Chain A
Amino acid sequence: MTETRVVEAWTLEPLERFVAESGARLTLLMTPAGQVLAQHGFTRAVDVMSAAALGAAIVASTGEIARMLDQTEFAALNHQGVQHGIFLGAFDTPRGGLLALVVYGPDSSAGLVQLFFEELAQGLVAAVPAQEEPKAVLAANFEEELNRSLASLFGR
C-alpha cells in the first residue's frame, strides 16, 4: 500500500486529502529549489530526488521564458502522456513559494488534479506554522538534514 510521508508534519493532512480526492498516483511537495517537504507514492529515494530536481528545473525554465515574454510566471503546467499525465503547480505560502509535482493515471484527469490542487494550496497556506528563526546552513548540517529528510520520507 502506498503511503504519504512527510518531512514537515503540517503538510500531511492537506496532502492526504489531495491524494484521496484527485486520485494522484505520485505527489511531491517541494520548494522551488527542489527541497522535498512531503511525498506520496514513491518507493525509491533516488526517484524522489530526481523528480524533485527535474520538477524544480522545469518550473524555473518556464519561469524564465515567462520573464522573457514579460509575463507573470505560469501558475501551473500540464504534460499529458499516453498512460500518465504530469502536473506542476506553484503557489505562495507565508513560508515562501512551494511547488507540487503530481503524476496521475487514467483513473484521474487534468481537471480533477487542477481542481483539488487549488484546495491543496489553500489547505497548506492555512496549515503552515509560524515562521521560525532562520538558522545558518552549514555544509555538515545540510547533509545531516538531507539524510534526516530522506529517512522521514521513506519511514526509516
Chain B
Amino acid sequence: MASDIKVMSAELARDPQSVVFLELGEALRRRGQLEAATGVVLGGLEHHPEVAEGHDLYARLLVDAGDFMRAQQVWSGVLERSPRHLGAHKGLGFLAFRENDLETALEHLELALAADPADQSVVRGLQTVRDAAAEAEVETAAETAAAVEELAGEDHIFAGLEGAEHGLLLVDDRGRVLGGRLLGAHGVDASDAVAAFLAGAAQEAERTAGMLGLGKWQWLVAEGPEGNVYVTPPTAETLLLIQRDRSVPSGRLAMLAERAGDLARQWLEGQQL
C-alpha cells in the first residue's frame, strides 16, 4: 500500500485536478494518516466540489477526528444534492444512533438499504438499531428516575435548586464539566458537548466585550425556539449555564443564576481547601 500511496501522490502532484484524490484520501485514512487524508480530500474538493464521494469521505474523516457536528452538516449537504446517497444515509444513521436518536437512525438506515439492498453493513446496522429501540422504552424511564435520584443527593452542587437535575451546568474555562447536567434532544445527556462549545463561546464573549469597549462581560442571554439560556462566569475560571423552556422569562433566569452562582462559588471554595 505504501507504494500505491507514493504513486497516487506523484500523480496528484503532477496533476492537482486529478480525481485520484479520492483513492489517495481513502488509502491515507485507512493508514490512520487523518491530517494528510483531510488535506488531500479538501484540495480535491476545491477542484471538484460536485463529487459527492469526496464529501462523503471528508465526513468520514470528520467522524474519525471526533467532529460529529460538522460531519452531520457535510452529509446533509450530500443528501441535498444526491438524496439517495448510500454513504450519507449510513453516516447520518450512525450519528443518530450515537446520539441515541433511534427513530432518525432507523429512517436513514432504511433509506440506505433502499439505495443498496445488498450492503451487509446496513443490514447489520438496522438490526442493531431495531434491537436497541426495543429495549429503549423500558430503559429510559429507569435511567431518568436514577438520574434524578442521584442529582438530588446532598453532595450535588445545585441540590435543592429548581431544575437542578437537567438544566444547570457548571463548566471550567477549558470546556470540561464540573457539575450539573444538561439534557439535550430526546433526553440525551448533552453536558459534555454543550460544555465544549460553551468555553469557546465564552472566550468570544470576553473578546467581543473587550474589543468593543463594553467592559468586563457579566452575562449573556440567548432565546431560542425551544428554550432560553443564561450564561455567566461565577468565577474567573468557570462558567454557569442555565437552560429553561420558553415560559421562563430572562428576568427569572437572572435570579436563578444568582442563586446558582452562590452555590457554585461555595462548592468551588470547598474544592480548594
Q: Do chains A and B touch in the complex (CB under 8 A)?
A: yes
Question: Once A and B bind, how many residue pairs between them come within 8 Å at the CB atom?
Answer: 9
Q: How large is the interface on B (under 10, 10 to 19, 20 to 34, 35 or more residues)?
A: under 10
* Residue B131 is within 8 A (CB to CB) of chain A in the complex: no
Interface string of A110-150 (1 = CB under 8 A from B): 00000000000000000000000000000000000000000
Question: How many Å lie between the Cα of A43 and that of B46 in the bound state?
Answer: 18
A83: which B residues are within 8 A, CB to CB?
42, 45-46
* Residue B49 is within 8 A (CB to CB) of chain A in the complex: yes
- A70 smallest CB distance to B (angstroms): 35
* Residue A68 is within 8 A (CB to CB) of chain B in the complex: no
The A-contacting residues of B in range 197-215, CB under 8 angstroms, are 207
Residue of chain B at shortest CB distance from A43? B39
Chain B residues touching A, majority SS: helix
Q: How large is the interface on A (under 10, 10 to 19, 20 to 34, 35 or more residues)?
A: under 10
* Residue A69 is within 8 A (CB to CB) of chain B in the complex: no
Q: Among the listed B39, B49, B207, which residue makes an inter-chain contact with A82, where contact means beta carbons less than 8 Å apart?
A: B49
Question: How many Å lie between the Cα of A43 and that of B101 in the bound state?
Answer: 40
Residue of chain A at shortest CB distance from B13? A46
* Residue A155 is within 8 A (CB to CB) of chain B in the complex: no
* Residue A81 is within 8 A (CB to CB) of chain B in the complex: yes
A43: which B residues are within 8 A, CB to CB?
39
Residue of chain B at shortest CB distance from A46? B13
Interface string of A65-100 (1 = CB under 8 A from B): 000000000000000011110000000000000000
Question: How many Å lie between the Cα of A115 and that of B39 in the bound state?
Answer: 27
A21: which B residues are within 8 A, CB to CB?
207
B49: which A residues are within 8 A, CB to CB?
82
A81: which B residues are within 8 A, CB to CB?
46
B39: which A residues are within 8 A, CB to CB?
43
- A153 smallest CB distance to B (angstroms): 18
A82: which B residues are within 8 A, CB to CB?
45, 49
B46: which A residues are within 8 A, CB to CB?
81, 83-84
B207: which A residues are within 8 A, CB to CB?
21
- A19 smallest CB distance to B (angstroms): 15
- A122 smallest CB distance to B (angstroms): 14
- A22 smallest CB distance to B (angstroms): 12
Residue of chain B at shortest CB distance from A116? B211
- A143 smallest CB distance to B (angstroms): 23
A84: which B residues are within 8 A, CB to CB?
46
- A155 smallest CB distance to B (angstroms): 17
Interface string of B27-43 (1 = CB under 8 A from A): 00000000000010010
Supply 7 further A-B pairs (C-beta < 8 A) apart from A82-B45, A84-B46.
A21-B207, A43-B39, A81-B46, A82-B49, A83-B42, A83-B45, A83-B46
B interface residues with partner A (beta carbon < 8 Å): 39, 42, 45-46, 49, 207
Kindly list the 7 A-B residue pairs having the minimum CB-CB distance in the complex, ordered from nearest. A82-B49, A83-B42, A83-B45, A81-B46, A83-B46, A82-B45, A84-B46
A interface residues with partner B (beta carbon < 8 Å): 21, 43, 81-84
A-B contact pairs, 9 of them (CB 8 A): A21-B207, A43-B39, A81-B46, A82-B45, A82-B49, A83-B42, A83-B45, A83-B46, A84-B46
